[in-house]
Structure formats: structure tokens, C-alpha cells
Structure 1
């Protein structure tokens, strides 16, 4: 852990209190790095993660090193598109346990069939800009375990059961399966696992849930703990967390183990429900289940989004319980370092990873290259990218889609064109999506449109997610006319606007100054119930109302976010307070509202509060009025 120790040295002058240093003493070097890395601007003692975790309370001084990156550091990058065969570890960012994937699916195919598996993958940059990379849109499923033990081999073509369900309307899955059995087909665990996997990666959660219900009701298979956990996860996705909680009580007690509870925990985390996540984590410990690193990583994900100081608490507890970090644990720490632009610290975390006998996978390499690019270290970014290419990009198909957006972020159009020329004759869907994004970054709109046309050639039934990729290009480049035409094209195709597409359309209209139209689209998408809309869809509108000083409308969006299941965050309060300031209106009770949501102001928000307080009328003025 010496690399992490060195990574923390240059941070020690940031004014952390001695109380923090005492907690670190003699503990994990990774935890020490976390405690020393973040100065929260809080004077109040912080609550402990769980009972008995630490004997000392931590105090943070009032000096804050928060900057513009404060909001950016809350984002969780390295999202769905980075699925790879090199490291299918026990963790995933969107909080889902290892349920459906047969072990031989872990071997990534390089055949044409792979494009079918990638139909609904979305670009990494779209994911990394969202704080809630949760189930409904952002974190695509990284299934990592098995429901059955089968020998490893390459992923086969879509099975007969899968094809039958894919071709059937969601309302008739059970009827189709009954007919499928009547035709003499056998229902096996492998067949069901493969079908469930294919449905999940396409985000057909309703069909997947119906398949699970049909299997149990017809008693074709005997349910085990992973089957129950899978059902619970699907219920949470389709019917909501409360229904999943009810289903948990129905699961036989003998099957209510760590896998079931950690699956529910992952769904709490995906909704950023801090209170329930912490309560369930503590319950899992109280039940004395053998805990996996997956469970701890879920808490790291949670605190990465809402309270980075507590990352150290989790790491200290992992050390205490002898839970060895996985490569995904290091991925989280690398992302935190990279997002805070601490390149030296990021590199030393990588050294620590290697010292533990692990090697950076393509996901970590992509993160490193991206953070180098953002930091202006083009030579280091190029070195990582060339290492990923391995000398012959034609033989490295599974990394091409990762390279395209990063080369674009560096402004290297020739490199983007070189990679795309290799892909263009027979591109995978994810390569088309990455090319659309890359060309959009380079403001080569015609090239992005050509890549979109290639995408439509590959996908028989395009979804709103595919259209969202091009919509984002139009939005980022403020091409309103073409964006509107694409919306009409989606409508004519009978597509419902999913969360990603809705996000792009909302931003398109907001940037064009048509905020009311954006709100109308948001409301329609909510009524369609196509999945929980993205955090940034609401925040984009809220920010615009704040700029106008429209307190009523900003408060309304704030309430809508609560109704959508988003717990309060610093960004929301910053935006809302900005509305009060621009309206030159006093924000009565604002501090109390924040305390009730367990939100504590950083330096920037404290300054906003002081400004809003300046509008408060004196007692004498109020009496005279």
C-alpha cells in the first residue's frame, strides 16, 4: 500500500483536523488516503456508517477545498459500455448482483452475434455525465455470476426460447411459453438463464419478470436463492422498491441469504436511498451472513455519489472484516482520484493495484486515458490508448468502441477516422454508438449522421436509446431544427421516448430557450412510465428556472424529483437557492430544509446562503409593513 501512502502525502496540507488523522492511524493505507483526500467543509461530527465501525468520531474543519469540480466529482463514471471479458468481477456499478449470466457468457464473443447483445448499450460519456447511473437508463447490466454451473465456452446464438419471447408482445409471454413447451421444447436451467441474460441486456425487464413468474408458477424448475434474488431485482425494476420489499417477505426464510439481501441493497443504492441502504447493510451484518466484497462495493458506490468521506469508513470496515478489495474496488478509487484531477494519486492507486497482483482491465485503462485527456496530459493518454490497441487494432475489436470517444476528446480527428475505417465495413452496434458520439464531439455532424445510418442497418428494431445518441449530438451542437426532425422521426416510428432520449430532447429544448416545451416533454415521459427519468433531465430545467429567478417553477421541479424517487442532493439545493437569489427573495427555513435532508453546505453553498439571507427583512421593517 506504499503507493497509496505516497498519494496522500501531498494532500496533508489541506487543513484536515487531528481527529481525522487519529482515525487513520494504524489503519488501511487506502482508507487513510480517503480520509486525507477530502475536506468536507463541515464542522459537525459525522455519524458512523454502522454501529461499532469506528470508536472515534470524525471532525472536519470549516476550510473547504471545494471548487468547480465539486459537482463533477459526484458523478460516477466508467459505466455500462465498458463490459469486457477480461475482468467480469463480482461487482457492478449500477448495483446488481450476479444472478442470471451463465458462466460461458462471460467469454466475450467476437462474432457477428455480439452485435445483438449490444443493441441497447449506450455511450460511456452519456453515462459519466449523470449522477444517477441507475437501472432505468444509465448503468447497463453487468451480470457477473451464474444461476447454474456450466462449463465456460463462448456465447452461443440466441436460443429458441429467447427468440420466442423477443418476438412476442410483453402481455403474452406466458402464452407463448406454454405453446413453446407444447411443441416439445424442454425447459432447462441453462435455457432459462441464457434467455434471462438476453432479456436483461436488452432491458426487457417486464418480459424477464414474466419469464421468472412463469417458470415458478409452472414448476418447471426448482427455485434457488439466486432465482429468488433475480425475481426481487426484476420486481424492483418493473414495479418499484416497495413491491420488492413486499416480495422479500414472501421468500422462504431458508433462501433469504446474503445474495437476496445484497440484491435489494443494490437497488437501494441505484436509487441513492442512503437511509435504507445503511439500514439494510447493517441488517446483513447483524444476520452474520458471509459478506462478499460486492456488498461493500455497493456502499462505496453510494458514498461516492453522496458523501465521499464515508468511503474511508467502508474501507476500514473491509480491512477489519478481512474482505479483500476486488479490481472494481480499485476502479472506484481511481475514478474518485481522476474526477478530482489528482493525477498523481490516481497513478499511485494503479501502482497499488499492480502490487496486489492485479492488472488494469480495459475499463480502468479507459478511465485512465479519459482522465489524462481531461487533465491535458495528451502524451500519457496516447500511451494508454496505444497499449489498449496492442499494435493491431484489427485484432482488438472489443476495445475499438472504447477508443473512439477518447481520441475525439483529445481532438484527434485522424485517429477517430482511422479506427472508424476499420469498423465501418461491418460495425458492431456499440461501435456505431461510439462513432456517433466521437464525431459529435468533433462537430462532424455529417459523419455522426452516417454512423447513425450504419447503426440503423445493424439494428432491426431501433429503440429510443439508439436515437438518443444522435439526439445528443444535435443537442450538444445546438442544432435545434434537426433535433426536432429526429423527435418527429421517432414518433413516426412508434417509439416511446425512453429516459436517455427524453434527457437529450429536454436539453435540446432548454438550450433553445423553449423551457415550457421541455417541461411538457418531461411530463409526458413521466405519464408513459418508460422508466425513471434521469436526474439531469430535471436539473437542467431547474437550473434554467433558477437563472430566471422563477422560484415557484424551480420548487415544482424540486418536488417532481422527490416524487421520482431522487433523494435530496447538494446540486438540487444549490440550484434552488440560486432561484431565490436571482429573484432577490429571502430563503426562509432553507438551512432547516437542508438539515432535514442531511445535506450540509460546502463553501460555495454557504456563500449562497449568506447572499439569500441578505434579502431577509428586519423585524422592524416587517412591523412597519
Structure 2
């Protein structure tokens, strides 16, 4: 009955057939578990002539805004600098905060070459006003468009005032994404020496250790975090929880779940129980898997309900809930509960 309710909760006339969705999700790496699914979100890439605004938003971009001009560009390498320069030549102001929003929007739609050209131009004319966060974003864009080697060269070229925790963290993230274990460990050690002991950088290394199956190093890093008093958040806990699943350590997984539930700063989320369900399924314990799946479903419903504060929030809550329901359905299918997933 539970899985049948899930189907009713997220299907719509315009959505894919639920069975098709379930089949699609079986492409998840069962050795890695649901780590990538739980820690990332997919974003659609708009056509070159579309507006980067959300499709559920009633607001529209002014037709002659800088944003609107840039989004219509077909060849970012040549045209974006021309568009920006023409804007200035017309006597219009280039507001740095507005440019940051434009770059963020292009990044959210995975139009990295567009975002990089805007970032390059603004670096050239307002370099002295740039913040470390701007440099960190620029480094990440270079890595995405031109590769890791060019990103490293950019990092080395930065002045001391911009070579700080944000840019170190951006470079570390590039190494994590490319699974460059040695380089990631080297930059992490440098960050330790500089006192940059933040949860986010440790989460990156935890992710890398899971992806490269270096679970003994993950255990050591977890101990270091506890020893230094570096707090765990939901993201880092979920990576650790997934490592237990990858290592088939069900006892460790259960102890960690209890720790999370007892942590006063952690609000339990559906995906943590989803990871646990995946672990139980790998161990063949369908009874315990169903128990945590029910907990997961209740949290999805709660999150969906709290998101209903307006049309845009409502749609986002429904979208996230739909993604969550889809994954839970794959777990039911894995359990062989075909009778539970009939429409």
C-alpha cells in the first residue's frame, strides 16, 4: 500500500510513466549506493534564446537588460565581451552584484562557457574590487571549461589576498570532482596548516574517499573531525553513512543513524533513511529496509507540506518530493514488491 501511495503522490499527466522512471533509476551504481543521487540535483539547460528565469516564476527579465542581452548570445567566446563592452559604451552601469547574479544563473543552467566569459570580463575591468568568492567561482569555471591544469595555473597566479579559504576550497573541490586523490590530499594538508578546518572541505575529502574506495582513510578523517571538534552536518553524515553501506558495515550504519538522531543540531531528512534502506537491501534484510523506508516517506511528506508557502515554493517542494518518491520506488522494486507498485 505504501508504494502505491507514493505513485499517486508524484505522478502527473505530463510526467514520465512511473515504470519508466523506476527503470531509469536502476542505473545508479549499486556499489557506491545513492551518494550521487542524494548529494546533487540535475538542472535543465535552456536553449540559447530562452530566459534563465524559472519556468514557474511569474517574473520576466526586462527585454533590454544586460541579462537579456547576454542570454541571447550564440557564441560566448567572442560575443559576450562585445555585449558587455557595448553596454558600457552606451553609458550604462555594470553593477558587480548584478554581474554575480548573472554568473550564478548561467552556472545553475550549466552554461559554464557563458559564465566564464562574463567572469573574465569583469575580472579585467574590476579586478581590485573582486572578492575571494569571485575568484573561487572563476577558478571553478576555468576547471569546467578549460580543465584542471588551467585552474591550477589561475590559482597560482592569485595574489595573497585572494588565495584564502574560498579559493583553496574551490581548488580542493576540483580535485575531488576529478578524483585526483594525491593532489586533493596535498591541498587538504595545506589547508590544515593554514587553519582552514571547515566542515565543507572535510566533506569533500570524505566524498573522494568513498568514490575511490579508500574507506580506511575515511575512518581516519572521521576520527580527525571528532578530535578537532569539526561539526558534522547532514551532508557529511550522509557521506559517512553511505561509506558504511559501501563497506557492508550494517552495524556501523545503525550506530551512525542513532548518532544522527541524537545529534541536537541535526534535523533528520528523508535521504538519510533512504541510504540506510539501500544498506539493508544490500544485506538482504527487507524487513528493516521497509521500516526505514516508512520513516523516509513521512519526512518527505513533512518537507513537501512545509514548502507550501507560495506557488514557487510549492512547485519546488513538489519537485523535490517527486525525486525522492522516485528513488524510494526503485528500492521497493529492488525488494521485489511488484504488487506494491502497480498503478
- Give the TM-score normalised by the residue count of structure 1: 0.41
Distance 2:269 2:252 in 1: 19
Cross-structure match for 2:272: 364
Specify the SS of the correspondent of 1:79. helix
Match of 1:110 in 2: none
Cα distance in 2 for residues equivalent to 1:273 and 1:254: 26
Q: Is structure 2 residue 157 aligned with structure 1 residue 250?
A: yes
Please list every run of 5 or more consecutive structure 1 residues that lacks an aligned counterpart in the other structure.
1-70, 84-116, 122-153, 419-625
**Deviations, residues 133-163 of structure 1 (Å, cap 9, x unaligned):** xxxxxxxxxxxxxxxxxxxxx9976674443
1:350 is displaced (CA, Å) by 2.0
1:118 maps to 43
* 1:380 corresponds to: 292
> Is 1:205–1:234's contact at 8 Å kept on the other side of the alignment?
yes
Counterpart position of 1:305:
211
- The CA deviation at 1:82 is 5.0
| CA apart distance, 1:225 | 0.9
Partners of 1:362 and 1:399 within 8 A in 2: no
The aligned counterpart of 1:263 is 170
Distance 1:404 1:336 in 2: 22
Q: Distance in 2 between matches of 1:232 and 1:382?
A: 42
- Give distance in 2, aligned partners of 1:179 and 1:416: 57
The one of 325, 338, 348 aligned to 2:245: 338
For the Cα contact (< 8 Å) 1:365–1:388, is it kept in 2? no
Q: What's the counterpart of residue 35 of structure 2?
A: 77
* Contact 2:210 2:243 (8 Å CA) reproduced: yes
Q: Hey, what's the Cα distance between the residues in 1 that align with 2:215 and 2:157?
A: 35
* Structure (1 or 2) with the greater helix fraction: 2
Q: How high is the TM-score relative to the length of structure 2?
A: 0.70
Partner of 1:401: 323
The structure 2 residue matched to 1:227, chosen from 111, 114, 134, is: 134
The structure with higher relative contact order (CA 8 Å, sep 6+) is 2
Instruction: Select which of 298, 304, 324 maps to 2:231.
Output: 324
**CA offsets per residue over residues 113-144 of structure 1, 9 Å max, x none?**
xxxx93159xxxxxxxxxxxxxxxxxxxxxxx
In 2, the alpha carbon distance for the partners of 1:278 and 1:332 equals: 18
Query: CA deviation digits over 1:144-194, x for unaligned, max 9?
Result: xxxxxxxxxx99766744433222122311112233445565432332222
RMSD, matched Cα: 3.4
| Alignment equivalent of 2:108, drawn from 177, 196, 201 | 201
Tell me how far 1:330 sits from its aligned partner: 0.6
Give the deviation of 1:72 after TM superposition. Answer: 4.8
Secondary structure (helix, strand or coil) at the match of 1:203 reads coil
1:217 & 1:391 partners in 2: Cα distance?
44
Match of 2:301 in 1: 389
Count of aligned positions? 282
Query: Residues of 2 paired with 1:323 and 1:221: CA distance?
Result: 34
Unaligned stretches of 5+ in structure 2?
1-28, 47-56, 309-316
Q: Distance in 1 between matches of 2:113 and 2:267?
A: 38
CA gap of 1:281–1:324, structure 2 versus 1, over 3 A, is same
Computing the radius of gyration over CA atoms, which structure comes out larger, 1 or 2? 1
